[in-house]
């Protein structure tokens, strides 16, 4: 057996089978490239679902992490530490908000947003205990906890995990009228992805998010934007909602916030909203730890330059231009997305998304399929134009009969 086969066989024997990874075993990575245990190189066109926006082994992020490793890594929130205030202040400033509540994973931040909106509803709208409702969209992806999958419409993510947490209304994504009808006096929040990543990089109709903003303001309902995957540079702006000129009441952030080094997530909002908490009401042992804060502070500093947003915008224009040309050839049915992020629906006669992903892997390009014959393209924002073009050449080759 090869080293690859050995590693995969032991993983199959000793890890739960809750994933179906492509059959390669990564050993090292740098920038947009990964190298497997056999020494083969692959162009990473997935970037950890945006967790690796700044690439693998980013020098600035590694230096920040290394320096912090030597000082202090974990205190718990039982004590203050000297990176915490800067992290909260600078993240709030990046978001144009007042306050931050740090967590670790995306799902925890979504849970935090749900708890915050409910508490805000009870305290400011005077709702009867247990009656708060949150409106979400069909085909959403907000994480894997029991509450979060309770409002998923994906049977794979939900089945056999009940009983489900009540208090959610599901409406079609992009349908403002359906949302208007779903909002009642008990609604405390609307929770949406600005672009639905897992669903296949679905971009809502122009004006939808602005309509959601107007409607939620009118009805005194919080607009929660899950920018965990769409935010922090991916679409060519710091936040995907900026394309619509929209500012939500609450950002939910994760993935790229940890720079591909550590898990860092956060809810960012106004003092009115995050001000609902008193000591003991919510928390996390690891949330806002010194190592997380040090890495995230460097991420924030990098985003403040605008350099990565600009790269994502320029390379994204190029990516979408090239994908449109491919679509003209018939193998591609539809291309969606924004910035350096695309969902590509392949004509099923060329294979399932999984088969296309495997063929691309054989040519040294890594992508991820979703829902049948869709592949997602989201390389690190640090990818060179030459590498991106080479990756697109491989896609073109796979889609030529």
Provide the binding-site residues for ligand PLP, judged by CB under 6 A. 49, 105-107, 110, 141-143, 193, 197, 226, 228-229, 254-255
Smallest distance from the beta carbon of 21 to ligand PLP, in angstroms? 15
Write down the catalytic residue from 36, 44, 226, 249: 226
- The three-class DSSP label of residue 299 is helix
8 Å CB contact between 224 and 190: yes
Smallest distance from the beta carbon of 197 to ligand PLP, in angstroms? 5
Q: Give whichever of 322 and 379 is closer to ligand PLP, judged by the CB atom.
A: 379
Smallest distance from the beta carbon of 280 to ligand PLP, in angstroms? 24
Q: Give whichever of 103 and 273 is closer to ligand PLP, judged by the CB atom.
A: 103
8 Å CB contact between 42 and 21: no
226 is catalytic: yes
Q: Give whichever of 193 and 345 is closer to ligand PLP, judged by the CB atom.
A: 193
8 Å CB contact between 218 and 233: no
Smallest distance from the beta carbon of 110 to ligand PLP, in angstroms? 6
Write down the catalytic residue from 255, 286, 345, 369: 255
Sign, CA dihedral 30-197-151-194, equals: positive
> In this structure, are strands 265-269 and 250-253 parallel, antiparallel, or unpaired?
antiparallel
Output the DSSP codes for 34-62. Answer: EEETTS-EEEESSHHHHTTTT-BT-HHHH
Write down the catalytic residue from 141, 151, 223, 239: 141
Q: Give whichever of 295 and 331 is closer to ligand PLP, judged by the CB atom.
A: 295
Residue facing ligand PLP at closest CB distance = 106
- The three-class DSSP label of residue 327 is helix
Phi, psi of 370 (to 5 degrees): -150, 140
Nearest to 315 by CA among 42, 47, 41, 83: 47
Mind telling me the catalytic residues? 141, 226, 255
């Amino acid at each position: 057996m090869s080293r690859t086969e050995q590693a995969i066989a032991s993983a199959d024997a000793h890890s739960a089978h809750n994933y179906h990874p492509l059959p390669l075993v990564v050993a090292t990575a740098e920038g947009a490239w990964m190298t497997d245990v056999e020494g083969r190189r692959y162009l990473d066109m997935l970037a950890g679902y945006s967790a690796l926006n700044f690439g693998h082994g980013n020098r600035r992020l590694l230096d920040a992490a290394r320096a912090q490793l030597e000082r202090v890594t974990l205190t718990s929130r039982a004590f203050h530490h000297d990176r915490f205030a800067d992290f909260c202040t600078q993240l709030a400033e990046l978001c144009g908000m007042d306050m931050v509540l740090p967590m670790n994973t995306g799902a925890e931040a979504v849970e935090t947003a749900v708890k915050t909106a409910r508490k805000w509803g009870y305290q400011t709208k005077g709702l009867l205990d247990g009656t708060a409702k949150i409106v979400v969209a069909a085909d959403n992806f907000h994480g894997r906890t029991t509450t979060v999958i309770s409002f998923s419409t994906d049977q794979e993510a939900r089945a056999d995990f009940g009983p489900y947490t009540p208090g959610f209304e599901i409406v079609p994504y992009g349908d403002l009228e359906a949302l208007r009808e779903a909002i009642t006096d008990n609604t405390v929040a609307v929770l949406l992805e600005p672009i639905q990543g897992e669903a296949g990089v679905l971009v809502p109709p122009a004006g939808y998010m602005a309509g959601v903003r107007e409607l939620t303001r009118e009805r005194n309902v919080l607009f929660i934007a899950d920018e965990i995957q769409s935010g922090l540079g991916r679409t060519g702006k710091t936040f995907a909602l900026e394309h619509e000129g929209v500012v939500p009441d609450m950002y939910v952030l994760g993935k790229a916030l940890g720079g591909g080094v550590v898990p860092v997530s956060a809810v960012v909002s106004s003092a009115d909203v995050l001000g609902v908490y008193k000591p003991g009401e919510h928390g996390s042992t690891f949330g806002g730890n010194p190592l997380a804060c040090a890495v995230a502070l460097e991420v924030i500093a990098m985003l403040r330059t605008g350099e990565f947003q600009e790269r994502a915008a320029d390379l994204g224009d190029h990516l979408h231009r090239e994908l449109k040309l491919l679509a003209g050839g018939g193998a591609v049915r539809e291309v969606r997305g924004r910035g350096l992020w695309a969902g590509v629906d392949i004509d099923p006669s060329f294979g399932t998304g999984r088969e296309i992903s495997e063929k691309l892997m054989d040519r040294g390009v890594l992508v991820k399929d979703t829902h049948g014959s869709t592949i997602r393209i989201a390389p690190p924002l640090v990818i060179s134009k030459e590498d991106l073009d080479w990756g697109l050449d491989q896609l073109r080759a796979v889609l030529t009969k």
